[in-house]
Chain A
Amino acid sequence: MSADKHVMALFENDVRAASAIEGMAGSPWKLERVHSPIPSDKILHALKTKKSKLGYFTLAGGIIGFFSGIGLSIYTATEWHLIISGKPVVALIPFLIVGFEFTILFAVFGNVLGLLFQTNLPEFKSLRAYDERCSGEHFGLLASCAEGEEKRLVAYFQEKGGEARLI
């Protein structure tokens, strides 16, 4: 386990990277990470990823926001015990605006918190075994294999069209 070797392979386009990923499906090597400078449908498809659950965070935020906004307005309106002005104390028409703004605000908070939780950002450990060209023009695959397998892994990647090296 701890003797695992890591190989970083860089591909110039996502089609080759995706085929390399698919080719690794039945192999003894493990795909640790895939880096890309842009989101790629082909790679996501090859990885057979499930749909992101981020939406639930956003929705939860939105719902909390809506009720908070309306709730805050109603609560603060009822706290003032003198009747002033000709408008009803609890008036839904203007309070809808406050509710709406809070909905958006809290939905965005949910969105951001969801993003941070789901992606585990900020995290700096990945930067250790990382190739800086991955944010440039290359798609990077980090794979691990048992001791002795590195040459085969490197060869496999080179055959798939990428440049590979040990990390």
Chain B
Amino acid sequence: MTYGQIEQTVLQTLRPAPFRYWATVVLMFLGLLTGAACWAYQIAVGIGAGGQNIPVAWGTYLINFVFWVGIAHSGTLISAILYLFRAGWRTPIARAAETMTVFAVCIAGLFPFIHLGRAWMVYYILPYPNERTLWPNFQSPLVFDMVAISTYLTVSSLFWYTGMLPDLATIRDRATGLRKKIYQIISLGWTGRYEQWRHYSRAYLFFAALATPLVVSVHSVVSWDFALGIMPGYHSTIFAPYFVAGAIHSGLAMVLTLIIPLRSIFHYEAFITKDILDNVAKTIILTGLIVGYAYIVEYFLAWYSNNIVEQESFRWRAVGHYSLEFWIMVICNTVVPLLFFFRKVRRSIPWLFTISVLINIGMWYERFVIIIGSAAHDFMPNAWGLYSPSLIEYGILLGSFCMFFFLFLLFVKHLPSVSITELKEGVHQGEGHVR
């Protein structure tokens, strides 16, 4: 692996794209427009266009919110936490993972906004002096969310952009005409001078060190949206680490889902080796086991608690109206990843892709089971009720996935989807092929 080969392979991906690329982009954009249209309809008609009602006041909008924040987390795990652990295998996938983070947080941030219904009132949550003499209540977990998600979005974007500066300079130096001008501006005139590198390396280390506790805190804050309430099934101290582990679980699965096609379409097999996919799969075993541990502990303590409300809530989850979703959740999140214990499975591309998709389905359903399952069946039997998503909600769900893939597709053809500079550094340190 020489520097030239690395550059060649990555710069190749930025060449003008074939028709099928643009066709896919347009398709995704249409999906995005569908979601936007559904949201526009909801703003016109009212939040009742969604399926949420009493008692299940939180539906797929919250599920999607938690889901997308979760996806975002493993991007930061890979680019920041694994950097601190000096795990060399992170390098080829860090850029794509960090990009996934930025886009996923953007989408996640939309959902509280969508869920608001009367979207024009969103500014109420911002702390600024106003004539109504109102401030947001900083004791509320929903306000924690506002602070945490904005912080995460800002920090991830800055981390992502700063990380790309040297690569943008590389592209600038190989480009011509208008493209050169554009990359010249966005690379901020980076020339790789030693003064720049000296401070840059330090800044990058600090970014990684700051992003790490941020990751843990953001999803803890999201989990506290539920855990700080007193509803059985919500009120549980294990939620914060359980959600963080689950987030990383689903995020790693999404990384696999994105990286596997990326790798073959862009001919990245030389950098994104099967060893790396293997390591991601092994990490998924760990996160799957943590999620499984949480399920077991929650069930055990529900029994131990001797509290009939708690026990009924957990009994109903497994055998009640939403039992299908529950079993999909358990099997996809905890049983299916155990297949990764087998080396053959970890190194087989079809298996990796299939399992990663199943895990994401399972994790989406986990949020369904927790958010909807608990609300549908809480303290008072005569307050029990069911929920099913409306077409508008399905439309917005579709829109969110299409938006994600739309943004990601645009990214891979216009910005370097693998970090050229970090790969060169890896070669320089004598790693050759990343472990």
Q: Which residues of A contact B (CB under 8 A)?
A: 14, 33-40, 43-44, 47, 49, 52, 54-55, 58, 69, 72-73, 76-77, 79-80, 85, 87, 91, 94-95, 97-98, 100-102, 104-105, 107-108, 111-112, 114-115, 118-127, 130, 132-137
Q: Which of B138, B170, B207 contacts A135 (CB 8 A)?
A: B170
A108 touching B158, Cβ below 8 Å:
yes
Q: Could you give 27 example pairs across A and B, Cβ below 8 Å?
A: A33-B194, A34-B194, A36-B192, A37-B166, A38-B421, A38-B425, A39-B201, A43-B194, A49-B194, A49-B198, A55-B202, A73-B138, A73-B139, A76-B137, A77-B139, A95-B138, A97-B148, A100-B217, A104-B214, A108-B154, A108-B207, A111-B210, A119-B200, A121-B189, A122-B189, A135-B191, A136-B174
Question: Assuming A76-B127, A104-B151, is B158 touching A112 (CB within 8 A)?
Answer: yes
Nearest neighbor of A47 in chain B, beta-carbon distance: B194
Decide if B147 is an interface residue (CB 8 Å cutoff).
yes
A94 touches B144 (CB 8 A): yes
* Across-interface contacts of B159 in A (CB, < 8 A): 108
**Contact for A101 among B3, B137, B217, B421, CB less than 8 A:** B217
Given contacts A112-B162, A135-B170, contact A98 B144 (CB under 8 A): yes
Chain B residues with Cβ below 8 Å from A104 are 151, 155, 210, 213-214, 217
- Residue among A39, A72, A123 with max Cβ neighbours from chain B (10 Å): A39
Give A101 to B215 CA distance when docked, in angstroms. 11
Given contacts A97-B148, A105-B155, A111-B210, 20 further A-B contacts (CB under 8 A): A14-B428, A38-B421, A39-B425, A40-B428, A44-B194, A54-B206, A76-B135, A76-B136, A77-B135, A77-B138, A79-B133, A98-B144, A104-B213, A108-B154, A112-B158, A114-B199, A115-B199, A120-B195, A121-B189, A135-B169
For residues 163 through 204 of chain B, which have their beta carbon under 8 Å from a beta carbon of chain A? 166, 169-170, 172-174, 184-185, 188-203
Question: Do A98 and B198 touch across chains, with their CB atoms under 8 A apart?
Answer: no
Is B348 located at the chain interface by the 8 A CB criterion? Answer: no
In the assembled complex, the Cα of A79 lies from the Cα of B207 at a distance in Å of: 35
A90, closest chain B residue (CB): B139
Residue from B147, B162, B203, B213 whose CB has the most chain A CB atoms within 10 Å: B203
**Residues of B bordering A, CB below 8 Å:** 2-4, 7, 127, 133-139, 143-144, 147-148, 150-151, 154-155, 158-159, 162, 166, 169-170, 172-174, 184-185, 188-203, 206-207, 210, 213-214, 217, 221, 421, 424-425, 428
What is the CB-to-nearest-CB distance from B14 to chain A, in angstroms, rounded to a whole number? 15
Chain A positions within 8 Å of B201 at CB level: 39, 52
Residues in A with CB closer than 8 Å to B202 are 52, 54-55
In the complex, what distance in Å separates the CA atom of A83 from the CA atom of B174? 64
Residue of B nearest to A129 (CB): B191
| Most-contacted residue by chain A among B185, B192, B425 (CB, 10 A) | B192
Residues of B contacting A105 in the complex (Cβ-Cβ under 8 angstroms): 150-151, 154-155
From A98, A107, A123, A132, give the contact of B189 (CB < 8 A).
A123
Please pick, from B135, B195, B196, the residue contacting A80 in the complex, using a CB distance under 8 A.
B135
A38 touches which one: B127, B133, B428 (CB < 8 A)?
A: B428
| Alpha-carbon distance between A85 and B424 when the two chains are bound, in angstroms | 58
* Distance of B77 from chain A, by nearest CB (Å): 16
**Is B138 a contact partner of A108 (Cβ separation < 8 A)?**
no
A134 contacts across to B, CB distance below 8 A: 173, 191-192
A98 & B138 in contact (Cβ 8 Å cutoff):
yes
Nearest CB of A to B318, in Å: 33
Would you give the shortest CB distance from B202 to chain A, in whole angstroms? 4
B214 neighbours in A (Cβ, 8 Å): 101, 104
| Bound-state Cα–Cα, A76 to B184, Å | 44
Contacts of A54 in B (CB 8 A): 199, 202-203, 206
Task: Collect the chain B residues with CB atoms within 8 Å of residue A121's CB.
Answer: 188-190, 196
Q: Which of B173, B196, B213 contacts A119 (CB 8 A)?
A: B196
A55 and B202 CA atoms in complex are apart in Å by 8
- Asked if B139 contacts A94 (CB within 8 A), the reply is yes
Q: Chain B residues with Cβ under 8 A from A115's Cβ?
A: 162, 199-200, 203
B81–chain A nearest beta-carbon distance, Å: 14
Q: Enumerate chain B residues within 8 angstroms of A69, measured Cβ to Cβ.
A: 147
Q: In the complex where A47-B194, A49-B194 touch, is A137 in contact with B4 (Cβ < 8 A)? A: yes
Q: Is the CB of A37 within 8 A of B200?
A: no
State the CA gap A95–B136 with chains docked (Å): 13
Q: How far is the CB of B235 from chain A (nearest CB, A)?
A: 16
Docked CA distance A91–B199 (Å): 39
CB distance from A66 to the nearest CB of B (A): 13
**When A and B form their complex, which 5 residue pairs have the shortest distance between CB atoms, in order from nearest?**
A76-B135, A122-B188, A132-B173, A73-B138, A39-B197
Nearest B residue to A35 via CB reads B192
Q: For A76, what are the chain B residues with a Cβ–Cβ distance below 8 Å?
A: 127, 135-138
B206 touches A111 (CB 8 A): yes
User: Which residues in B have their C-beta under 8 angstroms from that of A112?
Assistant: 158, 162, 203
Alpha-carbon distance A102/B148, docked complex (angstroms)? 8
